Structure 1
Amino acid sequence: MASTSQPSGGHLHFLFVRHGETQDNIERILQGWHDTRLTEKGQREAQVLAEKLRTQHIDAIYHSPLTRIIQTIEPFLPGRHNVQRYADPDLRGQGLGELEGGSYDLVDMSNPRSADGQPGVELFDDYVRRTKRAFARIVGAEAPQTGHKDRTVVIATHGCLEKTPSCDGFNPKFAVRGPNAYEVRWTDSDDVARMVVSEPAKLPMKDGVLDWSSISGQPFLIEQWGKKEKAI
């Protein structure tokens, strides 16, 4: 007797990447929303990233509009003529107001909330909420397109924030950790952090975006995050 089971739906894969080295990184200058360019080393890091993604099918790229991000994703764009690209200002890093252009020594780099209260600085918790809104919109746009095929989306931003005690509140417990999901605050410039949802059609949506408040269980799997030697 022929099987009457229906084919399973496709998975939705997310690949998170961050920009390479800039001159401000070398000089320990706070960047925030300041538009800077990659150094020669940063461009080499972007090439390494492109090589890691060389055989990876990609359907769409969502990215910060800042130059250092554009330069980071450019090397893996050739030959991908059908890839949809979306620049989203909500994928920028934390806005640092009057601190931008100043020394790293002005803040405690180990504490993401240490700049809160400084003139013009975006509160870290507001930055987290903005990032979550952006991700919710991306999931809302991409999940309905999976159908019975896998769909892979790149999110290129300024820091692939995962989970440390100082970043409590970024993630509800909606994801299962794989054995290679190391606890780091920021991934390296040539990392590709990977997360997948096996049943995107079952994700709760409200007005076309992921409804964080209605997530039950742990529908996402964090496959890869950071590097073992950086685990904390």
Structure 2
Amino acid sequence: MERLLVLVRHGQSEWNLKNLFTGWKDPGLTEKGVSEAIEAGQQLKDLKLEFDIAFTSNLSRAQKTLDLILAELGQTGLTTIRDQALNERDYGDITGMNKDEAREKFGEEQVHIWRRSFDVPPPGGESLKMTAERVLPYYHAEILPRVLQGNRTIIAAHGNSLRALIMELENLSSEEILKRELGTGAPIIYRLDEEGNVQSVQDLAA
């Protein structure tokens, strides 16, 4: 029995393009982001992958990315579950702020700590550790059981919610996951054993 799990970060958003902290705000995809999502669908189609169920966040950039991928696969009617547990990390008070402006206001070192430490959140926001604390229980309760039953599963979500999953799947340390960059619209294909451990991983951005 195949136990397939595919993770895809959404295509480039309007706020990615403007270098803004996005978090739970809901900008749409850029033209490039749309193209990235379509390309992701084409890559999965070339590999002859199909899915039994899809998960995404409550944010439209991830939902639109998923819709475009499924359209390429001819699976527009696929059962899709949306949940804010898969939302991007909440950047709190710096949401909507240009990253360069944030460095000028708070100092480069402080902004670097907020962005790249594991457990230090920005004011009013979430750290990666806090993001993982909502993503991983949802994964274990709602997603992993379906994968283990043989449901081929795709998740379209966000850089940090997916980092939380990758940290768990690949047994990475808090230091290792902070160095992991996820390309927009680039599928990562995992095949799991009967206990949910990763047997193989294929990163289509590589």
Q: TM-score range by the shorter chain?
A: 0.7 to 0.9
Partner of 1:125: 129
Partner of 1:59: 52
Partner of 2:155: 155
Partner of 1:76: 69
**Aligned ranges 1:102-121 → 2 under 5 Å:** 102-105=97-100, 106=102, 107-108=111-112, 111-113=115-117, 116-121=120-125
Select 2:19's aligned residue among 11, 28, 37. Answer: 28
Select 1:171's aligned residue among 156, 161, 168. Answer: 168
Gaps of 5+ in 1: 1-9, 176-182, 204-218
Moved more, 127-136 or 34-43: 127-136
Q: Retained in 1: the 8 A contact 2:114–2:122?
A: no
More strand by share: 1
Q: Retained in 2: the 8 A contact 1:59–1:84?
A: yes
Partner of 2:201: 223
SS at match of 1:108: helix
User: Normalising by structure 2, what TM-score?
Assistant: 0.77
Q: Does 1:90 align with 2:85?
A: yes
Q: Does 1:140 align with 2:145?
A: yes
Between the aligned residues of both structures, percent identity stands at: 23
More helix by share: 2
Q: Retained in 2: the 8 A contact 1:59–1:82?
A: no
Instruction: Give 1:189's aligned amino acid.
Output: T
SS at match of 1:47: helix
Alpha-carbon distance in structure 1 between the residues aligned to 2:164 and 2:86: 15
Kindly tell me: are residues 156 and 172 of structure 1, through their superposed partners in 2, closer, same or farther at Cα, counting changes over 3 Å?
Answer: closer
Q: Which has the higher contact order (CA 8 A, sep 6+)?
A: 2
User: Normalising by structure 1, what TM-score?
Assistant: 0.69
Q: Retained in 1: the 8 A contact 2:11–2:65?
A: yes
Name which one, 1 or 2, has greater alpha-carbon Rg: 1
Alpha-carbon distance in structure 2 between the residues aligned to 1:173 and 1:48: 25
Q: Retained in 2: the 8 A contact 1:98–1:121?
A: yes
Partner of 1:193: 188
Alpha-carbon distance in structure 1 between the residues aligned to 2:169 and 2:36: 32
Question: Can you list the C-alpha shifts for 1:74-112, whole angstroms capped at 9, x where unaligned?
Answer: 123333255221001111111111110002133228943
Aligned residues: 185
Moved more, 28-37 or 46-55: 46-55
